[in-house]
Amino acid sequence: MKPSRVLPIAAVMAVLLPFTMPAAAQNYPAKTIRIIVHSAPAGTSDILARLIAQKITEPLGQQVVVENRAGASGIIGVELAVKSPPDGYTLLMTQTSLAINPSMFAKLPYNAIRDLAPITQLVVGPNVLVVHPSVPVKSVKEFIALAKAKPGALVIGSPGVGTSPHLSAELFKVMSGTNMIQVQFKGAGQAIISLLAGEIGVMFTTPPTAIQYIKAGRLRPLGHTGKSGRIESMPDVPAIAEAGVPGYESAQWFGMLAPAGTPRAIIERLNQEIVRAIRSPDLRDKLNAEGQLVVGSTPAEFAALIRRELDKWTRVVRAAGIELQ
């Protein structure tokens, strides 16, 4: 008798499941939402996450908090996100490293395509090459000449293995024929502190991370990693491609995702609110002025970008001869 009773219940549940998911989405959100940032405080990911959290708290009617889970080149934070319930209450603020790490690490505890649901790409922009004022160069060409004259003497800091600044530096080394040592930190904030103290001499970082120190004269910008043109907040800083390394380009993007399996209705609601936030005039103007181009893509567009980036950085890592971690 028991089997005959179990089967109808299972059948009923199978029929009702498609209807319960939209109901849950209609009541969303009903509690605090957290955004996991897989890098340390004070970096661009952290800054963006907090700006977005402030903007979407009111329209969603629930508190949105930011939780920094730095370490292991962002792997710790991403793993925490993918293992969280797919209910819309855990989001992931990520960056280009999500597409770089699969080509840098022999084994990851997640699959960037299978285990995450893209919500939207937020911004894209170049990194900027900055040096401590004690480094006696004022241009990209002078920097390359110094690096070639003293191979291995210049120390570059980056916010972790597989991050965009790390690969920007590796690509620069390959294309400029220079030999410099890379030191990895647990986030852009720690790397900047070391650079400001003169413990390291060079760094690739995002304009929002470096701009206040550049304006204060504590860091000297030499070039940005965009294809061409100027950054509004740094009108005197040329593209590296135009200042000494023809063809050089390395952009960095940031975006928001959720665990795979998050109901489509919730993904669409989050996309609507986050895109509205990132495109708000005050936030858009602030980010554009700092060299970040506001995007606000659809989930499908962001998914396509991640796939393209996975292919691109696999080729770059192989060309640079970087050993798997």
Domain extent listing, the chain? 6-123+253-320, 126-251
pLDDT in tens, 142-174: 999 999 999 999 999 998 888 888 889 988 998
- Name the nearest CA neighbour of 177 among 204, 154, 144, 207: 144
d(CA 74, CA 194): 20
End-to-end CA distance of the chain: 57
DSSP H helical segments within 27-96, as ranges?
Answer: 44-60, 75-82
The whole-model pTM stands at: 0.78
Q: Which of the residue ranges 167-171, 185-189, 271-275, 301-305 would you say has the lowest mean pLDDT?
A: 185-189
pLDDT band at 15 (very low <50, low <70, confident <90, very high): low
Tokens of 59: 């329209």
Q: Return the SS3 of 180.
A: coil
More confident residue, 310 or 18: 310
The mean pLDDT value for 195-218 works out to 93
d(CA 278, CA 50): 12
d(CA 37, CA 277): 18
Domain pair 6-123+253-320 / 126-251, same fold: yes
- Give the pLDDT confidence score for residue 3 in this predicted structure: 47
- Name the nearest CA neighbour of 168 among 39, 325, 317: 317
pLDDT band at 24 (very low <50, low <70, confident <90, very high): low
Given the DSSP bridges, would you call strands 64-68 and 293-294 parallel, antiparallel or unpaired? unpaired
- Give the pLDDT confidence score for residue 16 in this predicted structure: 53
Evaluate whether 189 touches 217 at the Cβ level (below 8 Å): no
Tokens of 247: 């063809």
Fold of 6-123+253-320: D-Maltodextrin-Binding Protein; domain 2 (3.40.190)
pLDDT in tens, 83-102: 999 999 999 999 999 999 99
Domain 126-251 CATH (choose: 3.40.50.1100, 3.40.190.10, 3.30.70.3270, 3.30.750.24): 3.40.190.10
The mean pLDDT value for 260-264 works out to 98
Evaluate whether 119 touches 257 at the Cβ level (below 8 Å): yes
What's the count of helices (H) and strands (E) in the chain, helices before strands?
Answer: 12, 11
For 12, counting Cβ atoms within 10 Å of its Cβ (0-12 exposed, 13-18 middle, 19+ buried), the class is exposed
pLDDT band at 53 (very low <50, low <70, confident <90, very high): very high
